[in-house]
Structure 1
Amino acid sequence: MSTSDNAVGVDNTFRRKFDREEYLERAREREKQEEDDRFKSKSKGPPVQRKPLKHRDYIVDLESRLGKTQVVTPIAPLSQQAGYYCSVCECVVKDSANYLDHINGKKHQRALGMSMRVERASLDQVRERFEMLKKRKDPGSFTEQDLDERIMKQQEEEEERKRQRREKKKEKKKEKLAEEEAETEMDPDIASLMGFGSFHSSKK
């Protein structure tokens, strides 16, 4: 008897048949729909024009809450929780280094409406900046001679501080010696009452 006669056949009649053409048509329709959606999203409006980066016109407050205690509760609003609160992004950053990274980062700058590109200055802007700095420097400008005088003055002040410290140390030493002498000089009547006799030697 051959093995082919003993082999049990597999009945595949119950398996679902797929129409290849139907699924190809569905895939084409889906691709067309995705292309239409992409086109609609692009045609909604022009891309957002963000302003170039500009320097900060305020001082970043990192020290006003140092050394202060604060009660923190889970139901407190974000602005009253521990850490540094960013009102633009509405988030809390736990330490000053990460807070500086956050306000200098892309997400924060985009929320402010700025890109991460710096505006290229024109020649006229550079000249105006130089003129402004010259005007600012003129009233309080100082020469090398003024700088030497300031250095000399600082050195004299430092010497004066050192001299005062030395005098204070000398005064403290004198006061300490006077206290020690006062402690060692005892009234003879009190010494005899306490049982201290004369410490002079009996030998001559």
Structure 2
Amino acid sequence: MKKETRVSSVTGRRTWDKAFLENKQQEKREQDEKNERERAKKAKQPEDDPFAPTRSWLERRDYQLDFEKRVGKATVVSSLRDKNSGFYCEICKVLQKDSNAYLNHLNSRIHQKNLGMSLRVERVNVESVKSRIEKLSQNKSDVKVDLNNQKEPDSFNQKQSEQYVTQSKDEALEEDFEALAKTMGLPLSFASKQE
């Protein structure tokens, strides 16, 4: 029995069986469509997005990246792959040599995948935007109401606070004089405020 060949090399060059490859591609498309239909049927509620990624939606970072804390610091590198010689990602076990490469890595598809997120953002509708704006405006108005409802200080407390403010201003001026005298190389007795 002769095995069916899909590539003939009589002339020394490959010639592909285009009909076979088109059939294979068509079967793959049909299988993908079938899988998508099954996935849509398995959606529990109509609100569920049947085409949502299996991983969670992309979310914004909940922490601040602090690249400035390493500015001006010198580090001693003991080995080639030392974690202190750059920016090390614990999640991906990757070392980046500069902050730009590290930031690109944090936003990369690989890092997001290791975090369990996809690069798709959840689509929002008009109602969710309106409710979000309403919530934010209500929070803003609550703060205004709290500021308006503050107690007015009685005259005794007000006098005490004014006295404290003037006293702290005098102390601050004296400290400024001392610091200025120190930087200029003058004795501290010269910096004391004379009245």
TM superposition score category, shorter chain reference: 0.3 to 0.5
Question: Normalising to structure 1: TM-score of the pair?
Answer: 0.43
Larger Rg: 1
Question: Normalising to structure 2: TM-score of the pair?
Answer: 0.44
Task: Tell me which of the two structures has the higher relative contact order, counting C-alpha pairs closer than 8 angstroms and 6 or more residues apart.
Answer: 1
